[in-house]
């Protein structure tokens, strides 16, 4: 079996590298993973570089340049299974905030010679360009979820990753709902589970780092937040963050943009 280990490659587009680091952060478990797979390409961790095709391609980051577009198509071609990780890859990331503005203005302000900058006018999720086999949400992703996905694909089973709300995680964990008990505005009811309900566990409202849950009723939540005293601007900002360009969050923030 030793020479037939599945080849795994990790790629990066526009992102902060945080999601890749989650994998490196999984110290104990990483050894087991490294033992079970052949890390063919992972510039963050190793200089080794093996040619494709790969059994699993893991992609972090969003597509922001014409060059990226070509590259992601090449990666798709080389990867039997394509797993994308993190809010940048699944929703365009925090950098998708620029999607609401004129890109030319930005490049003119930021760069001395903007004519050398070749960029798309928007930061786009990977799935806008290629077929994706699995999307792992989060900003950053949860390292245990990443291990679970890799484990599941290696063992050809269904990853135990749920698309229900963060509320379910709070309840399974035994958290008391901070929205109800403390009146703290919380995006938990419309947000995809996976983080382990970190913020509510520390009495902070959910920021929606994992993007929209499976059937988000964002307008009903906004209406309630409004009644609780949030302004339309607060609500717009709440939805316009790490997953701003995810369809349901985008629509909701647009609805409150005055």
Partner 1 sequence: MNNSLKLESHHLNTLFNSLKRDNYTLIAPIISNGSIIYEQVNSAEELPRGWTDEQEAATYRLKKQNDNAYFSYNVSPYSWKKFLFPPHIRLFTVESKGKSFKINSSDAPIPAYAFIGVRPCELNAIKIQDKVFNNGQYTDTVYKTRREKVFIVAVNCTQAGGTCFCVSMNTGPKAKGGFDIALTEVINEDGHFFIADPGSEKGTKLMEDIPCSTARQSEIETAERLVQTTAQNMGRSLDTNDIKKLLFASLDSPYWNDVASRCLTCANCTLVCPTCFCSTVEDITDISGEHAERWRRWDSCFTMDFARVFGGNFRPSSKGRYRQWLTHKLASWIDQFGTSGCVGCGRCITWCPVGIDITEEVKRLKNEY
Partner 2 sequence: MVHNIDPMIPIPAHIRRVNWETEDTFTLLLEPECGNNNKFQFLPGQFNMLYAFGIGESAISISSDPFKKNTISHTIHRLGIVTNSLSQLKHGDTIGLRGPFGSGWPVENAKGMDVCIVAGGIGLAPLRPVIYSILRSRKKYRKIFLLYGARSPLDLLYRAELEQWGKFPDIHVLITADHGDSSWKGNVGVVTKLFSYIKLDGFRTTAMICGPEIMMKFTLQELQQYGVPPNQIFISMERNMKCGIGLCGHCQCGPKFVCKDGPVFPLPQVSHLLDKKEI
**By the criterion CB under 8 A, which residues form the site for partner 1?**
29, 32-33, 35-36, 147-148, 150-152, 154-155, 157-158, 160, 162-165, 167-168, 171-172, 174, 176-177, 179-183, 186, 188-190, 203, 213-217, 219-221, 223-224
Report the nearest approach of partner 1 to the CB of residue 202 (Å). 10
Residue 69, token pair as written in the block: 């577009």
Burial, 131: exposed, middle or buried (Cβ in 10 Å; 0-12, 13-18, 19+)?
exposed
158 or 258, CB closer to partner 2? 158
Structure tokens, 222: 């906004």
- Shortest distance, position 99 Cβ to partner 1, whole Å: 26
Query: Which of the listed partners (partner 2, partner 1, none) does 165 bind, with a CB threshold of 5 to 8 Å by partner kind?
Result: partner 1
Q: What three-state secondary structure class fits 76?
A: helix
Planar angle of CA 23, 208, 174, nearest 5 degrees: 85
Residues that bind partner 2 (CB under 8 A): 155-158
Closest CA to 23 of 103, 85, 99, 101: 85
212 binds, among partner 2, partner 1, none (CB under 5 to 8 A by kind): none
Tell the smallest beta-carbon distance from residue 54 to partner 1 (Å): 18
Half-sphere exposure of 120 (CA within 13 A, CB side): 19
Cα–Cα distance, 39 to 57 (Å, whole number): 10
**Residue 188 contact among partner 1, partner 2, none, beta carbon within 5 to 8 Å by kind:** partner 1
Q: If contact means CB under 5 to 8 A according to the sort of partner, which of partner 2, partner 1, none does residue 194 touch?
A: none
Q: Tell me which residue has tokens 């070749």.
A: 118
What's the token pair of residue 240?
């316009």
* Residue 37 Cβ vs partner 2, minimum distance, rounded to whole Å: 17
């Amino acid at each position: 079996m030793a020479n037939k280990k599945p080849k795994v490659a990790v790629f990066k587009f526009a992102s902060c590298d945080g999601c890749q680091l989650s994998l490196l952060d999984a110290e104990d478990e990483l050894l087991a993973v490294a033992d079970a797979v052949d890390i063919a390409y992972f510039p963050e961790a190793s200089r080794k570089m093996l040619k494709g095709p790969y059994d699993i391609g893991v992609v972090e980051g969003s597509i922001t340049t014409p060059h990226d577009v070509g590259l992601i198509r090449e990666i798709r071609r080389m990867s039997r299974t394509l797993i994308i990780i993190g809010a940048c890859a699944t929703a365009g990331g925090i950098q998708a905030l620029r999607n609401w503005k004129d890109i030319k203005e930005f490049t003119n302000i930021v760069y001395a010679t903007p004519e050398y900058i070749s960029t798309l006018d928007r930061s786009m999720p990977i799935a806008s360009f290629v077929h994706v086999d699995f999307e792992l949400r989060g900003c950053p992703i949860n390292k245990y979820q990443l291990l679970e996905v890799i484990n599941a694909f290696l063992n050809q089973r269904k990853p135990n990753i749920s698309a229900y709300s963060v509320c379910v995680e709070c309840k399974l964990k035994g958290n008391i709902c901070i929205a109800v008990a403390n009146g703290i505005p919380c995006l938990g009811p419309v947000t995809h589970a996976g983080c382990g309900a970190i913020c509510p566990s520390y009495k902070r409202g959910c920021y929606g780092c994992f993007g929209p849950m499976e059937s988000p009723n964002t307008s009903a939540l906004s209406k309630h937040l409004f009644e609780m005293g949030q302004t339309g601007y607060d609500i717009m900002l709440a939805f316009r963050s790490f997953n701003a360009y995810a369809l349901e969050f985008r629509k909701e923030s647009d609805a409150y943009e005055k």
